[in-house]
A = this chain, B = another copy of it.
Amino acid sequence: MTDLIASLRDEARTAPESGIVDVITFGRDCADLIPLWVGEGDLPTPEFITRAAAASLARGETFYTHQRGIPALRQALADYHLRHFGKDWGAERYFVTGSGMQAIQIAVRLVAGSGDEVIYPSPAWPNLPAALQIAGAEAVSVPLVFAAQGWTLDADRVIAAITPRTRAIYLNSPSNPTGWIADRATLETILHEARRRGLWIIADEVYSRFVRGGLTRAPSFIDIAEPDDRILYVNTFSKNWAMTGWRVGWLSAPPEIGQVVENLIQYSTSGVAEFMQHAAHAALTQGEAFLAEETARADLGLEILTTALGDTQRARFTRPGGAFYLFFGIEGEDDSRDLARRIVRETGVGLAPGIAFGAEGEGFLRLCFARSRRDLSTAAARLRDWIAR
């Protein structure tokens, strides 16, 4: 370590490099690459959304705006939640953020710092424990367990992990990378215990609308919670409306802490561009048909992949209930980082190594199937042949 790096603050210096990025850097120049390693689809943002941004730019809406979000977008968020979650909790609880990641960062800052613990099920999106670490808090994992019937979380293990230093429980459902979905009983157990002990819940329901089996959304804390429960809902426009590159998300929190949330926005990025917010408004108000198309496309993609991998008799997976990732293992392959590198080098299919999602993910690979039938068919054939070679 050089002097310059040694002179940096520990929390910053020791933040981990993403294990997903690591394999991308290794494999980005492979011939005939089919990149299924990151969490984004292959469709650009639909035109009805980009048009709203361009129109706002043309109107000269390039000045500072409301730190909490423009009123029209906050109202649209309230309307969206009423439509899809059946609760009319009002516009005041919605805060527009510069990405779902920033919603997580702000949620973390609100409730945890040095000396605090936050519990989360693992495997998990690595940015969550990293954000906790940068805030000086300790990320305490409890395992999601893989078995023949799929991934399961033992809620009692979450409860058992609570210590006097625990400040919050982070629950990502549907889960990235496993596709696990918390059922209502699990949500009730966690909410009950959080209420009893005065803990916060950070509810990451980013993939809520990506579910299979004819559902339109996953079970949510919104189903069982009161508006003033200590729950911070973090979400993003990225996944539902093909807006990954935009960096716009939202936080839903009890309005009573609104000024604190606004201050954290003010002193980090000072709000989101007004023209971006008009695009987000279009997504919420006109985006259902696009979302339906995307989920149907993902279902087809999943079918293609599970058929091909099933054929090999050597792949371990169950059909994910939610999100758009297949998290699978290959018999006899334990080192996911090495495996992901070999696969991208030898087949051109880019996958994320399970170890990037925590020790509990080792031995698995994450594949994003929010892509075209053609790409996924090619990738499925290459993987089948490689595994069966």
Chain-B contact segment, one of A102-110, A333-341, A358-366 = A102-110
Q: Which residue of B62, B127, B276 contacts A266 across the interface (Cβ within 8 Å)?
A: B127
Contact A64 B38, beta carbon cutoff 8 Å: yes
A86 at interface by CB-CB < 8 Å: no
Compute how far the CA of A18 lies from the CA of B257 in the bound complex, rounded to whole angstroms.
Answer: 16
Compute how far the CA of A328 lies from the CA of B17 in the bound complex, rounded to whole angstroms.
Answer: 48
Q: Which of A327-384 contact B (CB under 8 A)?
A: none
Contact A246 B62, beta carbon cutoff 8 Å: yes
CB-defined interface of A261-282 with B at 8 Å, one 1/0 digit per residue? 0011011111111111000000
CB-defined interface of A2-34 with B at 8 Å, one 1/0 digit per residue? 101101111111011110010000000000000
A243 at interface by CB-CB < 8 Å: yes
**Known: A114-B136, A267-B101. Contact between A44 and B63, CB under 8 A?**
yes
Compute how far the CA of A136 lies from the CA of B137 in the bound complex, rounded to whole angstroms.
Answer: 13
Minimum CB–CB distance from A262 to chain B (whole Å) comes to 8
Contact B200 A7, beta carbon cutoff 8 Å: yes
Minimum CB–CB distance from A193 to chain B (whole Å) comes to 16
Chain-B contact segment, one of A51-59, A72-80, A306-314 = A51-59
A91 at interface by CB-CB < 8 Å: no
A247 at interface by CB-CB < 8 Å: yes
B contact residues around A16 at 8 Å (CB): 263
Contact B256 A4, beta carbon cutoff 8 Å: yes
Q: Which of A77-122 contact B (CB under 8 A)?
A: 98-99, 101-102, 105, 109-114, 116
Minimum CB–CB distance from A268 to chain B (whole Å) comes to 5
Compute how far the CA of A4 lies from the CA of B257 in the bound complex, rounded to whole angstroms.
Answer: 7
Contact A273 B256, beta carbon cutoff 8 Å: no
Compute how far the CA of A129 lies from the CA of B255 in the bound complex, rounded to whole angstroms.
Answer: 26
Contact A257 B8, beta carbon cutoff 8 Å: yes
A292 at interface by CB-CB < 8 Å: no
Could you pull out 8 A-B pairs where Cβ atoms are within 8 angstroms?
A9-B116, A12-B260, A62-B246, A63-B244, A99-B269, A101-B268, A134-B264, A134-B267
Q: Which residues of A contact B (CB under 8 A)?
A: 2, 4-5, 7-13, 15-18, 21, 38, 40, 44-45, 50, 53-54, 57-58, 60-65, 67, 98-99, 101-102, 105, 109-114, 116, 127, 130-131, 134, 136, 167, 198, 200, 228, 230, 242-247, 254, 256-257, 259-260, 263-264, 266-276
Known: A9-B111, A11-B109, A114-B114. 18 other contacts (CB 8 A): A2-B256, A4-B230, A5-B260, A9-B113, A9-B116, A10-B113, A12-B110, A17-B263, A50-B62, A64-B245, A98-B98, A101-B266, A127-B267, A130-B263, A134-B264, A246-B273, A247-B271, A247-B273
